[in-house]
Chain A
Amino acid sequence: MDISLIDWSRAQFALTAFYHWLFVPLTLGLAFIMAVMETLYVRTGKSFWRDTAKFWMKLFGINFAVGIATGLILEFQFGTNWSNYSWFVGDIFGAPLAIEGIVAFFMEATFVAVMFFGWNKVSKRFHLVSTWLTCLGATISAWWILVANAWMQYPVGMAFNPDTVRNEMVSFLEVATSPMAVAKFFHTVLSGWVLASAFVLCVASWYLVKKRESKFALSSIKIAAITGLFASVLSFLTGDMSARMVAKTQPMKLAAMEGLYNGGNGVGLVAIGMVNPNKQPGDSQEAMLFDVKIPKMLSFLASHDLNSYVPGINDILDGGYPMPDGSVALSFADKKARGTLAHEALADYRQAKEAKNPALMQQAQETLAKNMPYFGYAYFNDSKELVPNVPLNFYAFRVMVILGGYFILLFFIAMFLSVKEKYHLQKWVQWVALLSLPLAYIAGMSGWVVAECGRQPWAIQDLLPVKTAISKLQPGDVQLTFWLFLALFTLLLIAEIGIMLKAIKKGPELKS
């Protein structure tokens, strides 16, 4: 396949996912915060809370529209740009997307209209239920799309069918409740809550800095700080859960995140460091230009055992180390040889089927079943192709973790001052909150960089390389749509920010 086609297709998907994730976390988190505010309105009868909720709903609506638009493109790109993927794993991957549409999108679409336009058309309680259902719809939608994404990281519940030449689902439960999906769902949704809390904190702090809307701002800050602290602490804990899953199912991703070339027992975690950009697998260069390590911490994070074995990039490529199940890891060369056997067996099976030779079919099928876990390795010629971009993963992971810690601290301080009713006196906290919003976006994006770039070169871990998942288009076609999307999404983002800023400057309309 043409490398430039693969690269442009990857770039287009990354671009769309990047833009989509600029809008979705705010939708997820703000929906919850607005619903809490409206609940306070219904419970206390104070119109202050209605007006407060309405202000945040206005900002929610502006953000929501672009999130939907980018999401549409993302879904259809699986077909337009990843046609082989759509067939090879569509039997499993399509189901969560369809369920997302039936169960979640309709709920969101139906009740978001009531939430925006129903204030004078439906009862207070019906309206409140609609706001909560909008929040629930967005969250259920996140569940199903993250089930699909988790399956790409950790494919379970399927078997390869040589008659149809695709993987087919054999256990829906395994797919829908995979531990990777559970970890991803909580980590991702909670990170959305963190971002939305940082957003509310930022906007409300701006009002305080400007000495405007203090009651509105302080009330919003209290809710955002509590939500943010809760979400950031839980996000940290679910991040630990995710890291253990990565260690178990995607050791190469973990090694890249750590810049770890030579593993061992009781491996330390790099707290701060700089990756040697020239380092290649198998050479004698140092992996890090400098680093400060926390002893044994990586082993502990990987399996909650200070002395556990963590393989490095070289170990994974060379094999021979003990696996958690007691077996010995295969080298790249072994995996490629077995993947090639699987390919040959598939071709033999198809030929035998055409020749109507059941004995040969059975023989080929047995060989195929034995070697199918390595099917994807046959597409690679050089072991280095299996190594994701180490510096990118290393730095993105650290940025995410450091910012995660930073937000716990920020929300703790904000909550403490808020509860003590001293937030309005602390100008520096207001400024810090005001300036911290971009950091929340960077933290979320960094998380996705680790999740998606750490999986490279696989579209489906160990099963289907990105280069094989592609649609056969001209590179120029994808290049053109890439630039069109870039221009369109960027202009829409600028428009969205412009509208948000004007709406924030105008402020809430507090009738009480």
Chain B
Amino acid sequence: METYTFLQNYWWFLVSLLGGLLVFLMFVQGGNSLLIDLGKNEDERTLMINSTGRKWEFTFTTLVTFGGAFFASFPLFYSTSFGGAYWLWMLILFSFVLQAVSYEFRDKAGNLFGKRTYHIFLVINGIVGPVLLGAAVATFFTGSGFEIGKNNITDMGNPVISQWSSPWHGLEELWGGCGQPASNWWNYVLGIAVFFLARILGLLYYMNNIDNESFHAKCRRSLWWNSGIFLVFFIAFVTRVLLADGFAVNPETGKVFMEPYKYLHNFIAMPAVLVIFLLGVIGVLAGILTSLLKPCFKKGIWFAGTGTVLCVLGLLLCVGYNHTAYYPSTTNLQASLTLQNSCSSLFTLKVMSVVSLLIPFVLGYIFFAWRAMDKKKITIEEMQNTEDKY
């Protein structure tokens, strides 16, 4: 494999891995969405908020780094998707802004809106964040309407290279529009699946991180129906992915064309990716089932979390590798983004790859600090006796 192709694949792997880690870390959002059903009294809400509150910076940082890594390695995606699906991304960002302040502000005197409002902010982010991020990722399979015209740069009246077809700028991804079919029920399906997965991870995280038997039992009960809904939507989306026509790229001409069962073919052509995906699914199921069947089991988050990372990694590798357009255009197939036509230069990818050697070191200190902080589980007594809390 040529160095440039290798680095394109390597960076797609890293971006996909960051995507997987982001979905795992959305246990914070999932946990917050559970404030409505599980946080029945102030003690429970304090436990829940302080449990995810000590991890929310990781989710936030992973989101920022995911954006930064995409910008550095696949800048044409950054300019096309963010500048095109404007409202979709803006809604996601708004919800994360609400979340960022809510932990710190919610219990502080003088916070202007009162505690309840900040809880509502957390719930809004807990719902909007996963649903819309899931919907945004689904467009990698379903496509979006845009054109790429690099010659536009010399057009004084209209120099913009990436142009979105719909005036709804991303809202059409959610409910159609501009005369297009509401393509995009499948975007919702993945959005809802990600939302319920985040809730499952939130439940499993609470079961691991909060030392309170009655709350543990409540989480277990909630896990049943959240898992049921997740499985329905997840299986529906995966079935659609396997059976749908996909956006294939002719390796010789670079032309994009529709190929029946493209993603199924990708899994078959890349057994390693299939294994990653299946291990991920098994991990998620193992985490859920063991937690459901063994009342005292508290480590479900690690199985389901690892499974989530692998599952998302497998799906994203499937949509990017093996001559596939990972961000397809439904307006003009030839405008679709592939690893080759949207990536940074060889030099930049090399520099970034050297920097990426720091990632194991970063993961190492995160592991070390996380472990040190989580040695003692959160209890109601701790919350009542400490000032170091949200």
Contact = CB atoms under 8 A, between A and B. Distances in A.
A172 B96 CA distance: 32
B388 A119 contact: yes
B1 interface: no
A466 to B, nearest CB: 12
Among A110, A126, A350, residue most surrounded by chain B Cβ atoms (within 10 Å): A110
A168 interface: yes
Interface of B is mostly: helix
A130 interface: yes
A99 B356 CA distance: 9
A79 B82 contact: yes
A346 B169 contact: no
Given A68-B60, A103-B358, A498-B111, A471 B83 contact: yes
B151 A501 contact: no
A120 B57 CA distance: 20
A164 interface: yes
Contact of A473 (B86, B94, B110, B154): B86
B174 to A, nearest CB: 15
A501 B388 contact: no
Interface stretch (A85-93, A184-192, A222-230): A85-93
Contacts of A118: 372-373
B61 A65 contact: no
A267 interface: no
B75 A90 contact: yes
B372 A122 contact: yes
Interface residues of B, number: 82
A500 B110 CA distance: 8
Contacts of B6: none
Interface stretch (A254-262, A356-364, A443-451, A486-494): A486-494
Contact of B355 (A86, A103, A471): A103
Contacts of B355: 95, 98-99, 102-103
Interface stretch (B99-107, B197-205, B211-219, B242-250): B99-107
B83 to A, nearest CB: 3
Contacts of A83: 79-80, 82-84, 160-162
B255 interface: no
Nearest to A111: B369
A286 interface: no
A484 interface: yes
Nearest to A114: B369
Interface in B66-115: 67-69, 71-73, 75-76, 78-84, 86-87, 89-90, 93-94, 96-98, 100-101, 103-105, 108-113
Contact of A102 (B345, B362, B372): B362
B386 interface: yes
Given A101-B65, A101-B69, A499-B110, A126 B372 contact: yes
Contacts of B113: 491, 495
A79 B351 contact: no
A105 B161 contact: no
A110 B366 contact: yes
Contacts of B98: 488
Nearest to A163: B150
Contacts of B372: 114, 118, 121-122, 126
B46 interface: no
B131 interface: no
Among A97, A101, A165, residue most surrounded by chain B Cβ atoms (within 10 Å): A101
Interface in A465-512: 468, 470-474, 477, 481, 484, 488, 491-492, 494-496, 498-503, 506, 509
Q: Kindly state the interface size class of chain A when it binds its partner.
A: 35 or more
Contacts of B83: 79-83, 86, 471-473
A15 to B, nearest CB: 13
B179 to A, nearest CB: 17
Contact of A76 (B65, B82, B345, B358): B82
Given A94-B68, A472-B83, A495-B105, A117 B154 contact: no
Interface string B134-162: 00000000000000001101101111111
Nearest to B345: A168
A347 B233 CA distance: 49
B5 interface: no
Among B57, B94, B351, B359, residue most surrounded by chain A Cβ atoms (within 10 Å): B57
B45 interface: no
Contacts of B375: 121
Interface string B292-312: 000000000000000000000
A474 to B, nearest CB: 6
Contacts of A97: 67-68, 71-72
B55 interface: yes
Nearest to B75: A90
Contacts of B57: 68, 108-110, 112-113
Contact of A62 (B60, B104, B163, B356): B104
Interface in A115-163: 116-122, 126, 130, 161
Contacts of B387: 509
B146 to A, nearest CB: 10
A106 interface: yes
A178 to B, nearest CB: 15
A14 interface: no
Given A62-B108, A69-B101, A126-B372, A106 B82 contact: no
Contacts of A68: 57, 60, 100
A120 B386 contact: yes
A164 B111 CA distance: 50
B256 to A, nearest CB: 18
Interface string B359-379: 100100110011011011000
B373 A114 contact: yes
Contacts of A165: 150-151, 153, 161
B104 to A, nearest CB: 4
A69 B81 CA distance: 21
A4 B315 CA distance: 41
B236 interface: no
B68 A499 contact: no
Contacts of A306: none
A64 B101 CA distance: 9
A454 B55 CA distance: 40
B167 A113 contact: no
A499 B388 contact: no
B98 to A, nearest CB: 8
10 contacts: A80-B82, A83-B162, A94-B348, A95-B348, A95-B351, A98-B68, A99-B72, A113-B369, A121-B373, A477-B169
4 closest cross-chain pairs (CB), A and B: A83-B83, A79-B82, A90-B75, A101-B65
Interface of A: 1, 61-62, 64-66, 68-73, 75-76, 78-88, 90-95, 97-103, 105-114, 116-122, 126, 130, 161, 164-166, 168-170, 172, 343-344, 346-347, 350, 378-379, 468, 470-474, 477, 481, 484, 488, 491-492, 494-496, 498-503, 506, 509
Given A72-B96, A84-B161, 13 more contacts: A73-B97, A81-B83, A86-B71, A87-B75, A102-B359, A102-B362, A107-B362, A121-B375, A346-B153, A471-B162, A477-B169, A495-B105, A495-B111
